[in-house]
Chains A and B, each alone.
Chain A
Amino acid sequence: MSRLNTYRAGPDETGHFGIYGGRFVAETLMPLVLDLETAYEAAKADPDFHAEIAGYLKHYVGRPSPLYFAQRMTENLGGARIYFKREDLNHTGAHKINNCIGQIMLARRMGKTRIIAETGAGMHGVATATVCALFNLPCIIYMGCKDIERQAPNVYRMKMLGAEVRPVGTGSGTLKDAMNDAIRDWVTNVADTYYLIGTVAGMHPFPAMVRDFQCVIGEETRTQILELEGRRPDSLVACIGGGSNAMGLFHPFLDETAIRIVGVEAAGHGIETGEHAASLTAGRPGVLHGNRTYLLMDDDGQIEEAHSISAGLDYPGIGPEHSWLYDTGRVEYVSVTDTEALEAFRFCSRMEGIIPALESSHAIAQAMKMAPDLPKDHLMVINLSGRGDKDLNMVAHIDGVTL
C-alpha cells in the first residue's frame, strides 16, 4: 500500500475517514448534529476555549499525568524499556475526564442545561457526573443492566456525584444498548440537552472532537519521553473498546511511521468462540450509532452482542478512525483474551504496585507478549488508561471471594 503524506488529516468536511464515519442519524437529530459541529468549529478557533480547558486539566484533573518507567516489569520481561502513561492518576481515575472537560465547556458555550451520557464500565459515567457536579448541571447516565451489576462501585460514585443512573435492560444490557437509549433521550429532548459521548465513535463530529480532547495524552507523552530518554518512543500500545484512550495516545504520532503502533481489542473467551468484542479482528464494515465502522454482526446485518470481561471494551463496534487506520495498515490491531488480561491485571499489581483497570490490562497483556523479544533499548509506551479499583469486585468474584 502506498504511504500517505499524513494520517492526521481526517475527517473530511462530511465527517468521513475514507469510507468510515459519517452522519447516519434520524432527521430530528440532524440539525442538532450540524449545530454541534458549527459550535465546535467556532470553539476550536477560540484561544479562550483552549485556555479554559488547559486550566481545568491542570488544576482539576491534575495533568500532566506522569510517564512512569516500569522498572520491575521491564526487568522481569527482559526486553523493551516499558513506560506507563499514567492516565489512571487523573482525577476520577481514567482518561475519560479529558474528553468530559472539553465537552462540558462546549455544552456550556452552547447554552445547554441538561447533560446525558452512556457508559459501559462506568468510568465515562463517573467523569461526566463529575463535570456536571462541577458546573451544576443535571446529569443522566444510561447504563446497561449487566454493566450496573458488574460495576456497582461506579454506579454508586455516579449517584454520589448527583447523577441519575438509568438502567437499560433492552438488548444485551451493555454499552451498545446504553448508547441506543441515550440517542433516544437526545432525540426527545432536543432543545436543552447535550449528549456527551464518551468515545471516538458516534456521528460526526464526535469521533474527531473526542479525539482532539484526548490527544493531550499523546502530546504529553512526546514531551515527557523526550525529557526522560531524549528521543521518541519506538512503540505505543493501548486497549480499544470504542478507542478513545488509544486514539489520544496514537494520533499525535501517526505520521512518525517508524513508530510501531498497536491497538488491543478484547478477544473475550477467544475469537474462535464467537464471544468477544474484537470488531476489527472479526467484524466487518456496517452502520450503527451514526457512523460506518467495523461492527460485529450476523449475515443479516443484525448487531451481535459483544463479550469482554471488561465492561469498557464490551462494545460491538469501534471508532471510525480506527477502522480507517486498520484498512490503511498504519496501526496494527491485535486481540487479547479475558484470561490473558486477568493475568496482566495480577502481574501489574504485584510487579509495579499499580492495580490497572481490566481495560488497560489488555494493553499490558499485549506488551507482555511483545516486550521480551524486543531489544533493551526499545522504548515502549503503554497507555495505562484507568485504575482497577472498580474491577476488584469482579476479580474477587472470579477468585471465589465475596467482598
Chain B
Amino acid sequence: MSVDFETRIDRRFRALKTQGRGGLVAFVTAGDPDPDTAFEILKGLPGAGADLIELGMPFSDPMADGPAIQASSQRALKAGQTTIKTIDMVRRFREDDDETPIILMGYYNPVYIYGVDRFLADAKAAGVDGLIIVDLPPEEEQELCLPALKAEINFIYLTAPTTDDVRLPAVLRNASGFVYYVSITGITGTASASVEAIEEAVERLRRHTDLPLAVGFGIKTAEQVGAVGQAANAAVVGSALVNQVAGNLDADGKAKPCLVNAVLGFAAELAQGVRNAKGFATREQRK
C-alpha cells in the first residue's frame, strides 16, 4: 500500500535533518503514576527537548517489556488508565502543541477490544501520528497496519537483529514514518548493544530503506543517546525515563512533588546528548 500522506513524524525528521542532528524519542507510559502527573510530564517533554514522543498505552501483559515498563504499566492501570483516557490525553496535549509527533505504543488486545476503526478515528482526531504495536508483525498486517494507513496514521514497524536481509523487505513493505530498530534480542530496559553493532545494523537497514531510523532498547544515558543519535536518525529512551517516575514516588506509591521535574530534568539531560553530538559523522569519517 502506498503511503501518500504526511504526518508530524515526517516533518519532524525533515527538520532534524536540516538541523544536522539526531533526534530524541522519549517514551513515557500514559497514566503513570497517575493521570494528572502523567499529563504534566507529557506536556513538559517538548520543552525538555524530546523531539518525538512515544506514549505507552499500558497493558496488563507487556510481553516485550522488562521490569521497568512492566511496573510502570501496572502503576498506570492501578491508577485507572484506559485506552480512551490515553487518547484523550493526546487530544489535550494537542491544544498547546501541534508539532511534536506522538506515537502510541502498546499491545494489540486493548486496541482490538476498543475496536480498530473506532480506535483509528479517535486517535487521528486526537492528533496521534503513529502507532507501534509490538505484537503485530507484518504477518498480521491486515489487523491494524493497513487500516491505520487508510486512516493516515503511520504504522511503525520494528526490525530486530533476527530480521535478516531476506525478511527485511517484507517487514518494510508497508513501513512509514520511521523504522524502529530493536538493537538487542531481548526485552526493554535490559542489555545495551555496542555502538559498533548499532552502526552495522543501521548500515544494513540503509540498504533497504530511505525512511528515518530510530534505535531503541537498552539506551539509558545522554552519552548513549548522543552516539546512537549520530549512528541513526533518533534514539529511543523508555525504561530509564520511566525509572525516574519510579524513583520519585512516596511510600504509598504517590508522586512526590519533585517527580515531574525529575523526569523532565532527565529528559533534558538526554536531549543534550543528541544536541552535543551534532554533526552526523559517519562511521567511515570517524575511522
Chain A interfacial positions (CB closer than 8 Å to B): 14, 22-32, 170-171, 176-177, 180, 183-184, 187-191, 286-290, 295, 297, 299-304
Contact = CB atoms under 8 A, between A and B. Distances in A.
9 contacts: A14-B139, A26-B182, A27-B182, A28-B162, A180-B62, A191-B185, A287-B112, A288-B61, A303-B109
B57 to A, nearest CB: 10
Contacts of B109: 286-288, 295, 297, 301, 303
Nearest to B106: A301
Contact of B162 (A14, A177, A190): A190
A180 to B, nearest CB: 5
A31 B167 contact: yes
A303 B82 CA distance: 13
Given A23-B140, A28-B185, A190-B162, A300 B110 contact: yes
Given A28-B182, A300-B113, 17 more contacts: A25-B137, A26-B158, A27-B160, A30-B167, A170-B74, A180-B61, A184-B63, A184-B66, A187-B185, A188-B185, A188-B187, A286-B113, A287-B107, A300-B82, A300-B84, A300-B110, A301-B109
B159 interface: yes
Nearest to B65: A184
Contacts, number: 118
Interface residues of B, number: 43
Nearest to B191: A188
B111 A301 contact: yes
A301 B64 CA distance: 17
A187 B135 contact: no
B137 A23 contact: yes
Contact of A302 (B66, B70, B77, B84): B77
B158 A187 contact: no
B219 to A, nearest CB: 16
Contacts of A26: 63-64, 134-135, 137, 158, 160, 182
B106 to A, nearest CB: 10
Contacts of B63: 26, 180, 183-184, 187, 289
Q: Which of A180, A184, A286: most chain B CB closer than 10 A?
A: A184
A25 B136 CA distance: 6
A27 B137 contact: yes
B213 to A, nearest CB: 14
B20 interface: no
What secondary structure prevails in chain B residues at the interface with A?
A: loop
Nearest to A303: B60
Contacts of A188: 185-187, 190-191
Contacts of B185: 28, 187-191
Interface string B161-190: 111100100010000000000100111001
Contacts of B111: 301
Interface in B100-127: 107-114
A180 B160 CA distance: 19
B209 interface: no
Nearest to A29: B162
Q: Which of B83, B140, B157: most chain A CB closer than 10 A?
A: B140
Interface in B52-84: 59-64, 66, 70, 74, 77, 82-84
Nearest to B163: A27
A28 B139 contact: no
A30 B77 contact: no
A290 B135 contact: yes
Given A27-B158, A180-B63, A287-B135, A301 B163 contact: no
Top 6 closest pairs, chain A to chain B, by CB: A301-B113, A301-B110, A28-B160, A188-B186, A302-B60, A24-B135
Given A187-B185, A289-B63, A24 B190 contact: no
A107 B217 CA distance: 29
Contact of A287 (B60, B108, B114, B160): B108
Interface string B83-103: 110000000000000000000
A199 to B, nearest CB: 17
A171 B61 contact: yes
A32 B66 CA distance: 20
Nearest to B187: A184
Nearest to B58: A302
Contacts of A176: 61
Nearest to A300: B82
A176 B59 CA distance: 14
A265 B130 CA distance: 40
Given A26-B158, A190-B162, A301-B112, A171 B60 contact: yes
Q: Which of A29, A183, A187, A300: most chain B CB closer than 10 A?
A: A300
A287 B61 CA distance: 11
A30 B64 CA distance: 13
A190 to B, nearest CB: 5
Nearest to B185: A190
